[in-house]
Structure 1
């Protein structure tokens, strides 16, 4: 499993080079505004991959 910023490109190149089935999962995080005082730790568990 690749988890770097260019994981989709690495998976595609691996498929092209080897013919192996490959895939890249994507996660989309959207944040609007700033965190409110009532939920200071709302996003603390979310970490970036890669």
Structure 2
């Protein structure tokens, strides 16, 4: 992943990660349970442009 950002839920119980690869593809994964494992990375349709 080139650029990434994280987001914590309002309740503070889970975290989500977003990333952009070198081709502009946007990816997403999330914590499956608070303090636990993570989902696989999933790619959104489309791309971001600079």
Tell me the TM-score normalised to structure 1 length: 0.23
Name whichever structure is richer in strand by fraction.
Answer: 2
Higher RCO (C-alpha 8 Å, min separation 6): 1
Please say which structure displays the higher CA radius of gyration: 1
